[in-house]
Amino acid sequence: MTAPRAAVITVSDRSSRGERPDGGGPAVADALRGLGYDVAAAEIVADERAEIAGAIRRLAAAHDLVVTTGGTGLAPRDVTPEATRDVLDREAAGFGEEMRRRGAATFARAILTRATAGTVGRCVVVNLPGSPRGAVECLGWVADALRHAVDLQRPPADGGAHSCARDAAKP
């Protein structure tokens, strides 16, 4: 099976205007490559709900995974989770829950992230924090479940149906 195609969206007003280098997007892209993904696209968008939703929808049509970094906090312009929910077909709340749970063990303010995840068509979408370190750390915490979610969205090689129980039993 070919490597899943991934896209990374950095959500940042300042980076989108060229006022600050994008640190989160390249860090997430490198981490995804290390996990076996083909990172085929990377974009920077402003903290604008419609712009974020449009980028997710467009990239989801051509990728197996879309990962956003930034805009998940409580600041007034942090609207990535809302934009993501605007386009999701199904939400997968466990990703955000696990990132908050694991993050809170070492960084009390990790509970402030509102990261979400789910599917748009056959594409999995996951929000990560904007901090390069936080984004890569969160990605690592959910990497196994994320890969399984991505694989579940891809047609099975044998033409049959996916079975989580069957897949989990494989060595």
Answer yes or no: is pLDDT of 167 > 90: no
Q: How many CB atoms lie within 10 A of CB 42?
A: 17
Q: CB of 97 within 8 A of CB of 115? A: no
Helical pair 132-153 and 94-104, crossing angle rounded to 10 deg:
150
* Torsion from C-alpha of 61, 90, 118, 114, nearest 10 degrees: 130
pLDDT digits (tens, 9 = 90+) for 7-66: 999 999 999 999 999 999 999 999 999 999 999 999 999 999 999 999 999 999 999 999
In this prediction, residue 171 has a pLDDT band, given cuts at 50, 70 and 90, of very low
Q: Rounded distance, CA 53 to CA 71, Å?
A: 12
pLDDT 10s digits, 109-163: 999 999 999 999 999 999 999 999 999 999 999 999 999 999 999 887 666 555 5
C-alpha to C-alpha distances, 74 to 21, 61, 78, 112, nearest whole angstrom: 22, 29, 6, 7
Supply the pTM of this predicted model: 0.91
For the chain, what are the domain ranges? 5-169
The helix or strand, by DSSP H or E, that contains position 66, with its residue range, turns out to be strand 65-69
Q: Please determine, looking at this structure, whether the domain spanning 5-169 carries the CATH number 3.40.980.10.
A: yes
Output the pLDDT for position 156.
74
pLDDT score at 165 = 53
What is the β-pairing status of strands 90-91 and 5-11? unpaired
The SS3 of residue 88 is coil
- Determine the pLDDT at residue 163: 59
